């Protein structure tokens, strides 16, 4: 009999505020997974129960909730009591202590209740989906992060680092892992949090915590070593394997830490992010430097203590691809695996994998776990809305020619990716060879800061030719330096400040049509690479449905939209296209109902 387990991460109450997701496991293998933000159409789906993601998981196998054998939650509320004393002390000492104590009292009462019925809130929400609710098991937050990193890594043994803002009571955990499972070796307890440290710098530079950290990482290479800034930060925090950042992080949230930075630098927080002076760039550079220095020291210390030189990493901080590069380049490290869904949305993966020994889990090579749409459904949408479309026989060749001519392409193919990176299923593509491509995508498509770089998708077979120490890198979760003789080929996908890039390598068995497209582009241009960014407008989640893709196509500066076998263009005359492609003409229609 098939065993179905539903793992999901809520963003309510004790279960965190961000990135709810759900994953369906069938006999220990994830068969469907999706983030709630793709349904809510709000990035990170803050304070949301993932009801639509759960329903999508069930629908994938035509199940009802009672058909599921077990529910897995990647959080153990009873562990919150380990830091209750910290919150009491913080509330007493903080400004407005009486008000904070009142709020704290309510929180502590909720935690006390959770010790006896830790899943009651979840059961109540699930009953609206189906009853009776299957048995629910709670699994500690960082253990789920650790399982998501090590179990699919392919390692027989390794060090595992789980680094984020906070689990139940822990912020960074070092694990020793082998084929039998995970052993917690060392814990850095909240509020000693690297995730919160970087969030405070993010807020100080004008972005939002848990949303703008990647922008600060991207800003960092534009900065320089600044002894004054570095001296101030080193006076406030300790780095290295025995790090201590609590001078900034001792109160939950970022307000206290930002105020400390304002006083220390005698400079107010940035109110207009996106246009930075050199001082702000230097601050981003220094914060990134200290983060890298600390995590590398933690990894190297753990390697020396355990005698294994493989490293697996997860947690929100692991989305920092520059940090992952530094760990990979350590002379003590042999191999690194970073969970591509490293943030809290990946906890559902870890919860499911944690139910079995690592040796029973296959190496993870892709994240195409979301919904897909067949050609009949897409044709119906196009014809209902009277949109002109074509079905070219040589689809990949035609699209490659358009990319080589400088056109910008929306690419909607197969099952949607789980996680924050578009990997050729819900992507916007462009020619990687010129800065003009980068600037057009930033200005007319993504509507974002023009200094932000893009990433490439390249044939895996070309990785060594283009990347220093290049090899398989299927997830855009690690950074590499480009070989100097190849930088002219990839101007649009290099970081302008340091010629690094965050690649996705592609094999035919990972995504057959995407591999063919890049191969055709290589045949035309001699460059086996395309610029790839996520198919979404600024500050919105990646598109999930054909209708959302069509809406974004007409709201962005895209030239071509490819929906499975169909091509839609904004230029429809044969002369403009300079091709033999024949379109089914129609009078067009602007209203596009959601599907």
Tokens of 146: 């650790």
Q: At what angle do helices 194-204 and 255-265 cross, to 10 degrees?
A: 60
Whole-prediction pTM: 0.93
- Which DSSP helix (H) or strand (E) runs through 137? strand 136-138
Residue range(s) of every CATH 3.30.420.40 domain in the chain: 4-143, 194-338
| Cis before 132? omega within 30 | yes
**CATH fold for domain 194-338:** Nucleotidyltransferase; domain 5 (3.30.420)
Nearest to 302 by CA among 480, 322, 294, 341: 294
Q: Is 499 helix (H, G, I), strand (E, B) or coil?
A: coil
What residues are paired with 244 via a beta bridge?
A: 238
Nearest to 125 by CA among 62, 18, 52: 52
Tokens of 99: 């008000």
Chosen CATH of 375-581 out of 3.30.470.20, 1.10.600.10, 3.90.870.20, 3.40.50.620: 3.90.870.20
Distance in angstroms (rounded) separating the CA atoms of residues 191 and 171: 7
Integer angstrom CA distances of residue 172 from 187, 532, 551: 6, 32, 41
Nearest to 70 by CA among 26, 106, 116, 107: 26
Distance in angstroms (rounded) separating the CA atoms of residues 458 and 448: 24
Tell me the HSE value of 340 on the side-chain side, using a 13 A CA sphere.
22
Tell me the HSE value of 299 on the side-chain side, using a 13 A CA sphere.
33
Distance in angstroms (rounded) separating the CA atoms of residues 538 and 106: 37
Integer angstrom CA distances of residue 181 from 101, 143, 248, 411, 504: 41, 10, 35, 40, 29
Q: What is the 3-state secondary structure (H, E, C) of 363-397?
A: CCCCCECCCCCCHHHHHHHHHHCCCCEECCCCHHH
Residue range(s) of every CATH 3.90.870.20 domain in the chain: 375-581
Residue 575 CB: number of other CB atoms within 10 A? 7
As its CATH architecture, domain 4-143 has 2-Layer Sandwich (3.30)
| Signed CA dihedral, 511, 513, 516, 518: sign only | negative
Distance in angstroms (rounded) separating the CA atoms of residues 498 and 288: 14
Nearest to 33 by CA among 366, 275, 293: 366
Nearest to 350 by CA among 142, 540, 179: 142
Which residues of 444-489 form beta strands (DSSP E)? 455-459, 480-481
Residue 18 appears among annotated catalytic residues: yes
Q: Please report the pLDDT score of residue 16 as a whole number.
A: 85
DSSP 58-95: HHHTT--GGG-SEEEES--GGGGGGGHHHHHHHHHHST
Residue 484 CB: number of other CB atoms within 10 A? 9
Kindly report the backbone phi and psi dihedral angles of residue 158, in degrees, each rounded to the nearest multiple of 5, phi listed first.
-175, 170
Give me the tens of pLDDT residue by residue for the chain, a chain 595 residues long: 999 999 999 999 888 889 999 999 999 999 999 999 999 999 999 999 999 999 999 999 999 999 999 999 999 998 988 887 665 666 566 666 555 555 555 555 555 555 556 789 999 999 999 999 999 999 999 999 999 999 999 999 999 999 999 999 999 999 999 999 999 999 999 999 999 999 999 999 999 999 999 999 999 999 999 999 999 999 999 999 999 999 999 987 899 999 999 999 999 999 988 889 999 999 999 999 999 999 999 999 999 999 999 999 999 999 999 999 999 999 999 999 999 999 999 999 999 999 999 999 999 999 999 999 999 999 999 999 999 999 999 999 999 999 999 999 999 999 999 999 999 999 999 999 999 999 999 999 998 888 888 999 999 999 999 999 999 999 999 999 999 999 999 999 999 999 999 999 999 999 999 999 999 999 999 999 999 999 998 889 999 999 999 999 999 999 999 999 999 999 643 334 444 444 443 333 333 334 4
Distance in angstroms (rounded) separating the CA atoms of residues 182 and 169: 18
Q: Please report the pLDDT score of residue 105 as a whole number.
A: 57
Q: 57, 126 in Cβ contact below 8 A?
A: no
Q: For residue 499, count CB atoms less than 10 angstroms from its CB and return exposed for 0-12, middle for 13-18, buried for 19 or more.
A: middle
Q: Please report the pLDDT score of residue 246 as a whole number.
A: 97
Active-site residue among 18, 151, 190, 285? 18
């Amino acid at each position: 009999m098939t065993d179905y387990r539903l793992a999901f991460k809520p963003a309510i109450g004790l279960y965190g505020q961000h990135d709810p997701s759900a994953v369906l496991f069938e006999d220990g293998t994830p068969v469907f997974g999706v983030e709630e933000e793709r349904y809510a159409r709000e990035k990170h789906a803050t304070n949301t129960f993932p009801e639509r993601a759960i329903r999508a998981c069930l629908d994938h196998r035509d199940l009802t909730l009672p058909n599921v054998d077990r529910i897995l939650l990647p959080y153990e509320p009873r562990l919150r009591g380990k830091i209750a004393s910290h919150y009491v002390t913080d509330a007493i000492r903080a400004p407005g202590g009486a008000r904070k104590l009142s709020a704290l009292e309510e929180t502590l009462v909720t935690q006390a209740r959770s010790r006896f019925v830790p899943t009651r809130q979840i059961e109540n929400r699930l009953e609206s989906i189906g009853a009776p609710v299957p048995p629910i098991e709670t699994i500690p937050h960082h253990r789920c992060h650790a399982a998501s990193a090590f179990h699919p890594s392919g390692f027989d043994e390794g060090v595992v680092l789980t680094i984020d803002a906070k689990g139940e009571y822990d912020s960074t955990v070092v694990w020793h892992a082998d084929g039998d499972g995970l052993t917690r070796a060392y814990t850095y307890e909240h509020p000693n949090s690297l995730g919160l440290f970087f969030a405070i710098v993010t807020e100080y530079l004008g972005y939002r915590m848990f949303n703008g950290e990647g922008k600060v990482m991207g800003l960092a290479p534009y900065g320089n070593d600044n002894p004054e800034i570095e001296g101030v930060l080193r006076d406030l925090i300790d780095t290295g394997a025995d790090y201590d950042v609590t001078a900034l992080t001792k109160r939950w949230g970022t307000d206290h830490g930002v105020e400390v930075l304002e006083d220390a630098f005698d400079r107010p927080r940035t109110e207009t992010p996106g246009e930075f002076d050199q001082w702000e760039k230097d601050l981003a550079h220094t914060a990134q430097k200290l983060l890298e220095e600390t995590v590398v020291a933690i990894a190297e210390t753990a390697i020396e203590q355990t005698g294994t030189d493989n490293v697996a990493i997860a947690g929100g901080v692991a989305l920092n691809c520059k940090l992952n590069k530094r760990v990979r380049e350590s002379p003590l490290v042999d191999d690194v695996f970073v969970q591509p869904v490293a943030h809290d949305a990946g906890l559902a993966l870890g919860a499911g994998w944690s139910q079995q020994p690592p040796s029973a889990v296959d190496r993870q090579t892709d994240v195409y776990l979301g919904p897909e749409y067949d050609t009949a459904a897409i044709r119906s949408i196009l014809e209902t809305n009277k949109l002109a479309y074509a079905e070219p026989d040589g689809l990949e060749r035609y699209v490659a020619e358009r990319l080589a001519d400088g056109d910008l392409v929306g690419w909607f193919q197969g099952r949607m990716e789980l996680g924050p990176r578009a990997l050729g299923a819900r992507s916007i593509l462009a020619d990687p060879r010129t800065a003009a491509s980068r600037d057009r995508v930033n200005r007319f498509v993504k509507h974002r800061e023009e200094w932000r770089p893009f990433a490439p998708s390249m044939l895996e077979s070309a990785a060594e030719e283009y990347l220093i120490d290049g090899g398989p890198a299927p997830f855009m979760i690690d950074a590499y330096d480009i070989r100097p003789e190849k930088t002219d080929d990839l101007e649009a996908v290099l970081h302008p400040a340091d010629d690094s890039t965050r690649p996705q390598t592609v094999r035919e068995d990972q995504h057959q049509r995407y591999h063919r497209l890049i191969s055709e582009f290589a045949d035309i241009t001699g460059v086996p690479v395309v610029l790839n960014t996520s198919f979404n407008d600024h500050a919105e989640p990646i598109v999930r449905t054909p209708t959302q893709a069509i809406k974004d196509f007409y709201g962005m500066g895209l030239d071509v939209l490819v929906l499975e076998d169909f091509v839609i263009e904004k230029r429809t005359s044969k002369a403009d296209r300079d091709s033999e492609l024949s379109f089914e003409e129609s009078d067009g229609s602007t209203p596009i109902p959601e599907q």
